[in-house]
């Protein structure tokens, strides 16, 4: 299904600017954007994957990862093909890079917004997550679905690399309740050489999404020898703390994948080192992920330090939440930050 992409602008030179993400592609007739799923046809920018889902699952919300967002609930998770990044370590490269690696072919099942919302409700999910590939590249599809989801009492989560423009965030903010944004590194060279992107727009997106009142959690995939120096970890932690010390930070273990098969899995020691730095920089909530370590996956009250949400087993398998629907600590009354109902 193709649909006109709203986030676009005609330029005086006859080209069309896509305003969905910070790649800011300027395209002429028959040209595709860097994501491979937006293309100029008949003088209009078209979204080629509207209503075509390439991955659909019911997942624990903890798997997104969102730890301060309706704990123990499930999120109806959808993604399409295509991505505006080209990360050499992509965990979902089969779908994210598919159009670029298959002569712009689009694959997936027809799944219009109404059907997503109906299936989410039938499955008992409390939210819809736009995930697996970068959701802003299929912005119009996510927007229509998110709006309908709200009308049906469901929340919405964007799992993103943080390349949304201010314009796309302004439109999304009334409907997107939570975002998990990757800060993949604090080095522009890393972003450029490994991801085909830049650092600055990502930091601006984190700041702006937070300002717009969207609940933000951050994920950093730590790759030993690439982005795990004490200095770099500290810079990321300082940045997050400068936005808000209550933003949860997920430190995730790298597994060899896609074009980075020559680098080993991240050790627990590295993740724990980063975890300590996060706390030293004043972050209230730091988590370790993609590795079994229940002490570092649970939530502790920042005031009395008691464990208030226990997480163990596979992600989302065993979650014991002692907070009430306002996020109140049962031991000291501190209100933990998050979306709890
Ligand atoms: S969404 Fe796609 S076409 Fe639009 S700016 Fe980003 S990469 Fe380019």
For residue 318, what pLDDT is reported?
86
Residue 282, SS3 per DSSP: coil
Query: Is 197 near ligand 1, meaning CB less than 6 Å away?
Result: no
- Ligand 1 centroid from CA 24, angstroms: 6
For residue 2, what pLDDT is reported?
83
Query: Is 45 near ligand 1, meaning CB less than 6 Å away?
Result: no
> Best substitution site from 9, 15, 21, 48 to test ligand 1's pocket, by max atoms within 8 Å of Cβ?
21
Handedness of CA 87, 90, 96, 102 (dihedral sign): positive
Q: Which atom belonging to ligand 1 lies closest to the Cα atom of 21? A: 6
Domains belonging to the chain, first-starting first, are: 3-47 (no CATH), 52-303 (3.20.20.70)
Q: What is the pLDDT of residues 297-317, one digit of tens each?
A: 999 999 999 999 999 877 777
> Best substitution site from 16, 18, 138 to test ligand 1's pocket, by max atoms within 8 Å of Cβ?
18
- Ligand 1 centroid from CA 84, angstroms: 6
For residue 64, what pLDDT is reported?
95
For residue 233, what pLDDT is reported?
98
Q: Decide if 176 contacts 168 (C-beta within 8 A).
A: no
Q: What is the mean pLDDT of each run of 10 residues along the chain (341 residues)?
A: 90 97 98 97 96 97 96 97 96 92 94 98 98 97 98 98 98 98 98 98 98 98 97 98 98 93 94 97 94 84 97 82 97 98 96
Q: Decide if 95 contacts 133 (C-beta within 8 A).
A: yes
Q: Rounded to whole angstroms, what are the CA distances from 244 to 84, 215, 247, 283?
A: 27, 11, 6, 8
Spatial separation of the C-alpha atoms in residues 33 and 51, rounded to whole Å = 19
For residue 90, what pLDDT is reported?
93
Which residue has a Cα nearest atom 3 of ligand 1?
33
Spatial separation of the C-alpha atoms in residues 9 and 29, rounded to whole Å = 14
Query: Is 5 near ligand 1, meaning CB less than 6 Å away?
Result: no
Rounded to 10 degrees, what is the CA torsion of 322, 325, 328, 331?
A: -30
Which residue has a Cα nearest atom 5 of ligand 1?
24
Q: How many residues does the chain have?
A: 341
The rounded radius of gyration (Å) of the Cα atoms in the chain is: 20
Q: Which atom belonging to ligand 1 lies closest to the Cα atom of 163? A: 6
Q: What is the pLDDT of residues 184-225, one digit of tens each?
A: 999 999 999 999 999 999 999 999 999 999 999 999 999 999
Q: Which atom belonging to ligand 1 lies closest to the Cα atom of 37? A: 2
Query: Is 66 near ligand 1, meaning CB less than 6 Å away?
Result: no
For residue 315, what pLDDT is reported?
76
Global pTM value: 0.97
Query: Is 137 near ligand 1, meaning CB less than 6 Å away?
Result: yes
């Amino acid at each position: 299904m193709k649909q006109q992409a709203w986030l676009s602008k005609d330029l005086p030179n006859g080209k069309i600017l896509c305003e969905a993400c910070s790649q800011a592609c300027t395209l002429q007739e028959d040209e595709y954007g860097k994501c491979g799923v937006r293309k100029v046809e008949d003088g209009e920018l078209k979204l080629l994957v509207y209503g075509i889902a390439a991955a659909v699952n019911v997942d624990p919300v903890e798997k997104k990862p969102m730890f301060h967002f309706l704990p123990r609930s499930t999120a109806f998770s959808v993604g399409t093909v295509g991505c505006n990044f080209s990360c050499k370590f992509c965990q979902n490269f089969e779908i994210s890079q598919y159009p670029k690696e298959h002569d712009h072919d689009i694959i997936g099942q027809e799944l219009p917004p109404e059907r997503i919302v109906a299936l989410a409700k039938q499955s008992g999910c409390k939210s819809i997550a736009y995930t697996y590939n970068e959701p802003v590249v299929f912005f119009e599809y996510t927007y229509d679905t998110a709006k309908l989801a709200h009308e049906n009492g469901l929340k919405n989560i964007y799992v993103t690399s943080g390349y949304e423009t201010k314009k796309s965030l302004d439109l999304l903010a009334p409907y997107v309740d939570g975002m998990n944004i990757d800060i993949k590194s604090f080095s522009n060279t890393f972003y450029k050489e490994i991801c085909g992107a830049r650092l600055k727009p990502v930091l601006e997106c984190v700041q702006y999404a937070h300002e717009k009142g969207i609940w933000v959690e951050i994920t950093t995939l730590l790759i030993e020898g690439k982005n795990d120096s004490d200095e770099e970890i500290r810079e990321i932690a300082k940045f997050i703390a400068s936005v808000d010390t209550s933003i949860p930070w997920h430190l995730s273990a790298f597994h060899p994948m896609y074009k980075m098969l020559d680098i080993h899995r991240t050790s627990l020691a590295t993740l724990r080192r980063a975890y300590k730095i996060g706390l030293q920089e004043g972050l209230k909530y730091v988590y370790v992920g993609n590795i079994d370590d229940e002490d570092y996956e649970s939530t502790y009250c920042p005031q009395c330090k008691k464990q208030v949400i226990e997480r163990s087993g596979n992600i989302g398998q065993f979650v014991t939440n002692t907070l009430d629907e306002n996020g109140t600590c049962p031991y000291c009354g501190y209100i933990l930050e998050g979306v709890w109902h």
